[in-house]
Chains A and B, each alone.
Chain A
Amino acid sequence: MDPGPSAQDDGAVWLGVRVLTVNVSETAPLLAIEDLHVTFSTRRGLVEAVRGVSFSVAAGETLGVVGESGSGKSVTAFAVTRLLDASGRVSQGRIRFAGEDITRASSKQLRRIHGAAISMIFQNPRGALNPIRTVGQQIADAIMAHEPISAGAGRARALELLKAVLIREPEKRLDAYPHELSGGMCQRVMIAMAIACAPKLLIADEPTTGLDVTTQKTVMDLLAKITAERGMAMILITHDLGLASRYCQRVCVMEQGQVVEEAQPLSLFSAPQHPYTKRLVAASPTATSTIADLAPEALLPSAVSHSPHPEEAAPAAVSKHGSAVPEPSGASFETKPVASPQDEGSGKKPAPGTPLLLEVQNLVKRYDRGVVAVNDVSFAIRAGESLGLVGESGSGKSTISRLVCRLIDASEGEILFDGQAIGTLPARDFHRSPLRKDIQIVFQDPTDSLNPRFNAFDCIAHPLRRLLNMKDGAALTARVSECAERAGLPSSLLERFPHQLSGGQKARVGIARAIACRPRLLILDEPTAALDVSVQAVILQLLDRLRREDDLALLFVSHDLNVVRMMCERTVVMQNGAIVEQGESLALFAAPQTDYARTLLEAVLHLGGPTVR
């Protein structure tokens, strides 16, 4: 075994680009992975993260590697670029690049051979850039690590590259530090560094995760353009089927360290063969899918009560587009026929006479130094209605959710709940308000929203103890179990601490806690942003069901337009703290009135949408 990732390698990681140089031979394919196994040694013994993966990439081709968290897709990429942690190693199989076996070549050997190259783009561009060096220096560093050129020439090349990645005002950006650039621009810089030495293969590991939809589109379009222009092959690793279907010529689906299916995107997503692919495709929202389409809801309660990992245990008998027959199970839920938003248009929607539950009037939130996070925002929610709040990062949507939840005070404007002005009581004292229990919130990051020192039971019991003054005893235990069960969390998991639960289970604890006091308004702040797509499908259905059962009004804050379209009757589009457009979701999504809403909608990637290249 060679020393593995050495200090030198770490430096390359810091740069965010790792360039391997190997002889070019003209024999295709460019990269061939044969029966790759990667093993990690952990506290609980050896764990095989990749179990026999084989695929190949031809020169100039874009291959998508799709899978959920833990599927081994990133580990595969790290094995190719030799960036595995010290605890991980390739235990079996071969990686050939341009005909040459690079599986066990030492980094020194790899460096000595010149010619073609592999480079990599990482998920968090800001984290991968060195914060104390200018962007231009870092690009020049990436070049000079492999070519003996002067600093002046390096700077000129860096400028050229910044122009190639279409950064506005490249001369100015050359001397900018990473913190002065937006996330999208940082990713462009990363791309510039990655293509600096004209690699033959670019590995992009979740290149747009964490970026706004419009930024995602421009970054991906840029990647597609550059790889096409320069004849580079690309491996696009993503959890987003829409992204893969749009930008890849071939897609591999990975599950638990294995490639379960490989095909062209069109056939893969229109006629998936493997049960896992089918489930994944079903769970991914499309331009027309409804909540009911995502996965057969009837399977969920029973699956939940029998499996400790409901979302991980793939129900084998999932058929496409929710056509499964509801399972008559012993679950304590009544399985109700799920109506699509279209049906609701006539049936479920609160009648015009329904009183307004929440009315927000001319809300303004100013921070110190004159930053206006929310600027003159007004909207209303009727009892039992679901309102979507969409916008990109910095649009003020999260601030609004905290204002409405009375966690922070507004600078101006009124919030009326059930006809009462609740803005008059300062947020500091709102915990004493009798309305506290009526307005509850589910947070974005399920891990971050649970107290690490409370087990699941205490997390759910806490609001009951505080707001309903319930004392420990049979009544409290029964209520907590009931809430957990309604949120699809088996009572056997109630003793566990957050770190012992999966992401989906933590999300369920957060939901159970929020519904424990039977609120009338539930604020959902990006409730599924941190979850895998199949878990998201399950959580969305759960929220939809709870809403029907409790006649709950929802304020659904999200950057994901597909999700909002499915969940909400009305949608508010925000930009820079102000409302750009609001209206019935169906109408708004079918025919947006403003340019901004149109741009947002066009940037949304759908399965089965047009393919680039």
Chain B
Amino acid sequence: MTSSTLRHTVWILRGNPVTAIAAAGAFILCLLAIIGPWIVPFDPIASDVANALQPPSAKYWAGTDQLGRDVFSRLIVATRLDLAIAASAVSLSFVLGAVVGALCGYTGGRLDRYVGRFVDVLMAFPLFVLAMAMVAALGNRVENIVIATAIINLPFYIRFARAEVNVRRNAGWVEAARASGDSHVSVVLRFLLPNVLPAMAVQVSLNLGWAILNAAGLSFIGLGVSAPTPEWGIMVAEGARFISTGKWWLVAFPGLALMLTVLCFNLLGDGLRDILDPRMRT
């Protein structure tokens, strides 16, 4: 990152406090994901039945669950897994979707038609049910959640990249690049993709929140991440059993964590586009 990019970033954040707050939130989340396991006050897995179902207190900030595990510690440790699933799923669909979509948008023709129909078919399924089916078929493992989430996100990236590249493929600078000795492939990868990146960054950020919800949803219904592992979706699922007896903290805190994380990435989207677009640098 050059100094001018840094200056520009600071300028954007200063003019847009919401983005700055979202960026700070995202930074804290990433930090927690990295150092979480070392800073938590209690072991997130070790059970302590004597202290089961304690309400939030000075010792247990978010209370304890039915096995006496500290909810706060589990929340913090879960950040890593949830972010990792979302980030790898989104980057997988982003890279694949952007390249395939850009190629379709640039070449048109048969590839475009086939990919377009495939995307239509994919979109015709209820996406969450499709993800459930895929995880169930492929096996109840974390990497399969990633793959399923990536596949159900793919149509959005393909369509987005296709549309953005399509309007630019006859631009003068594309022809100029070819006159400067670029092949079609290099025009797509080195000219068109960087130009649609700012717009796609918004999509990525929105999608990240959505992917977190999706992963948590799969865990909630018992697919993917399995029991002792701290994960927000499982925590909500396990806590749901106790909500009728007034043990609200088991559901409220993981739910809050999910909500704040999704909100944070959604808010980040618009600011990210401004930062990545050189035309905003005046």
Contacts and interface: CB of A to CB of B under 8 A. Distances in A.
Interface stretch (B91-99, B127-135, B150-158, B181-189): B181-189
A402 B279 CA distance: 29
A462 B195 contact: no
Contact of A448 (B173, B182, B281): B173
Interface in A44-76: none
A514 B181 CA distance: 12
Nearest to B198: A453
Interface string B249-270: 0000000000000000000000
Contacts of A463: 179-181
B177 interface: yes
B175 A453 contact: no
A500 interface: yes
A497 B179 contact: no
A91 to B, nearest CB: 25
B279 A499 contact: yes
B178 interface: yes
A479 interface: no
Given A428-B184, A451-B195, A445 B172 contact: yes
Interface stretch (A144-152, A434-442, A604-612): A434-442
A451 B175 CA distance: 10
A431 B195 contact: no
Interface string A380-406: 000000000000000000000010010
A448 B171 contact: yes
B175 A466 contact: no
Best-buried of B180, B183, B191, B195 by chain A (most CB within 10 Å): B180
Interface string A488-522: 00000000010110000000001001100000000
B195 A452 contact: yes
Nearest to B179: A441
B176 A449 contact: yes
A432 B183 CA distance: 8
Interface in B140-183: 171-173, 175-183
Nearest to A523: B179
A168 to B, nearest CB: 32
A431 B181 CA distance: 4
A331 B191 CA distance: 35
Interface string A432-475: 10001101110111001111110000000011001100000000
Interface string B48-75: 0000000000000000000000000000
Interface string A573-613: 00000000000000000000000000000000000000000
B257 to A, nearest CB: 37
A405 B179 CA distance: 7
B3 interface: no
A110 interface: no
B228 interface: no
B279 A462 contact: no
Contact of B180 (A402, A444, A513): A513
A514 B281 CA distance: 26
A466 B181 contact: yes
B282 A500 contact: yes
A407 interface: yes
B179 A407 contact: yes
B176 A441 contact: yes
B173 A437 contact: no
A440 B179 contact: yes
B41 interface: no
Contact of A467 (B172, B180, B183, B195): B180
B17 interface: no
Given A444-B172, A448-B171, A449-B172, A462 B282 contact: no
B139 interface: no
Contact of A431 (B171, B178, B191, B282): B178
Nearest to A469: B181
A462 B278 contact: no
A476 B176 CA distance: 19
B175 A402 contact: yes
Contacts of A467: 180-181
A494 to B, nearest CB: 14
B177 A451 contact: yes
Interface residues of A, number: 31
A7 B179 CA distance: 47
Contacts of A436: 179, 181
B11 to A, nearest CB: 12
Contacts of A402: 175
Contacts of B172: 443-445, 448-450
Contacts of B278: 452-453, 497, 499
A466 B279 contact: no
A402 to B, nearest CB: 7
A466 B182 CA distance: 7
Contact of B191 (A405, A449, A451): A451
Given A428-B183, A440-B179, A463-B180, A451 B279 contact: no
Contacts of A448: 171-173
B279 A497 contact: yes
A513 B176 contact: yes
A142 B21 CA distance: 51
Nearest to B4: A495
Contacts of B180: 462-463, 466-467, 513
A43 B194 CA distance: 27
A69 to B, nearest CB: 19
B108 to A, nearest CB: 11
Contact of B173 (A429, A431, A450): A450
A445 B176 CA distance: 12
A512 to B, nearest CB: 12
A440 B179 CA distance: 6
Given A452-B195, A452-B278, A453-B278, A443 B176 contact: yes
A497 B282 CA distance: 9
Contacts of B171: 448-449
B12 to A, nearest CB: 13
Best-buried of B175, B181, B183, B184 by chain A (most CB within 10 Å): B181
Contacts of A452: 173, 195, 278-279
Contact of A407 (B173, B175, B191, B279): B175
A216 B97 CA distance: 47
Best-buried of B171, B172, B195 by chain A (most CB within 10 Å): B172
B37 to A, nearest CB: 40
Nearest to A402: B175
B138 to A, nearest CB: 39
Given A429-B183, A462-B180, 14 more contacts: A405-B179, A407-B178, A431-B181, A431-B182, A431-B183, A440-B179, A441-B176, A443-B175, A449-B176, A450-B172, A452-B278, A453-B194, A466-B180, A499-B279
25 contacts: A402-B175, A407-B175, A407-B179, A431-B181, A437-B181, A440-B179, A441-B176, A443-B172, A443-B175, A445-B172, A448-B172, A448-B173, A449-B172, A450-B176, A451-B173, A451-B177, A451-B191, A452-B279, A463-B179, A463-B181, A466-B182, A467-B181, A500-B282, A510-B176, A513-B176
Leading 6 A-B pairs by shortest Cβ distance? A449-B172, A463-B180, A466-B181, A448-B172, A443-B172, A467-B181
Interface of A: 402, 405, 407, 428-429, 431-432, 436-437, 439-441, 443-445, 448-453, 462-463, 466-467, 497, 499-500, 510, 513-514
